[in-house]
Amino acid sequence: MGSPVYLGKKAFNIFRRLNAQAPWCYHHRFLESWYNENVKDGSKAYRNRCTAAFNYLEKELRSYWTDIDEVVMGGSLGKGTVVKNQSDIDVFVFMDWATIDTVGSMRYRIQLKIGQNTAKNFLEEIDGVTGIWSDEFVIHFKLEHEGLNVSVDLLLTADNSHGGEHAMVEAMLRKIDTNREFYSACLVRERQQFIKSQPGYVKELIRLVKTWAHAALPKHLRKAYFFELLTIYLWEKAGNPIGFDKAQGLKDVLQNLANLRSIRVADWYGDDDEDTEEAILRLNMQTPIVLDPTNPTNNVCKFLRDSPNNMKTLSRAARATLLTAAQKDVTIYTNWGDH
pLDDT digits (tens, 9 = 90+) for 186-206: 889 999 999 999 999 999 999
Q: Does residue 155 form part of some domain? A: yes
At residue 104, the pLDDT reads 87
Phi, psi for residue 302 in degrees, rounded to 5:
-60, -25
pLDDT band for position 171 (50/70/90)? confident
At residue 180, the pLDDT reads 77
Kindly list the strands in the beta sheet with 289-292, ordered across the sheet, starting from the edge strand earlier in the chain. 264-265, 289-292, 295-299
State how far the Cα of 241 lies from the Cα of 226, in Å rounded to an integer.
21
At residue 315, the pLDDT reads 97
Q: Residue-wise over 31-68: b if at least 16 C-beta within 10 A, else e?
A: bbebbeeebbeebeebbeebeebbebbbebbeeeeeee
At residue 232, the pLDDT reads 97
Q: Does residue 212 form part of some domain? A: yes
Selected residue with higher pLDDT from 170 and 312: 312
Say if residue 164's pLDDT is above 90.
no
Say if residue 174's pLDDT is above 80.
no
pLDDT band for position 278 (50/70/90)? confident
At residue 1, the pLDDT reads 44
> Any idea what the CATH number is for the domain that residue 324 is in?
1.10.1410.20
Inter-axis angle of helices 310-321 and 9-18, nearest 10: 50
User: Is the CB of residue 55 less than 8 Å from the CB of residue 47?
Assistant: no
Q: Does residue 298 form part of some domain? A: yes
Percentage, residues of the chain above pLDDT 70: 93
Q: Does residue 219 form part of some domain? A: yes
Note the pLDDT tens digit of each residue in 13-63. 999 999 999 999 999 999 999 999 999 878 888 999 999 999 999 999 999
pLDDT band for position 3 (50/70/90)? very low
Helices (H) and strands (E) in the chain, counts: 13, 8
Kindly list the strands in the beta sheet with 148-157, ordered across the sheet, starting from the edge strand earlier in the chain. 68-74, 89-95, 148-157, 138-145, 129-134
Q: Does residue 3 form part of some domain? A: no
Note the pLDDT tens digit of each residue in 103-156. 988 999 999 999 999 999 999 999 999 999 999 999 999 999 999 999 999 999
Q: Does residue 4 form part of some domain? A: no
Note the pLDDT tens digit of each residue in 62-74. 999 999 999 999 9
Q: Does residue 2 form part of some domain? A: no
Q: Quote the mean pLDDT of the chain.
A: 91
User: Is the CB of residue 249 less than 8 Å from the CB of residue 256?
Assistant: no
Domain count, the chain: 1
Range of the domain at 17: 9-336
Strands (E), the chain: 68-74, 89-95, 129-134, 138-145, 148-157, 264-265, 289-292, 295-299
Q: Does residue 146 form part of some domain? A: yes
Q: Residue-wise over 195-220: b if at least 16 C-beta within 10 A, else e?
A: beebeeebbbbbbbbbbbbebbbeee
Q: Which of 90, 86, 227 is nearest to 156 (CA)?
A: 90
User: Is the CB of residue 83 less than 8 Å from the CB of residue 76?
Assistant: yes
State how far the Cα of 107 lies from the Cα of 109, in Å rounded to an integer.
5
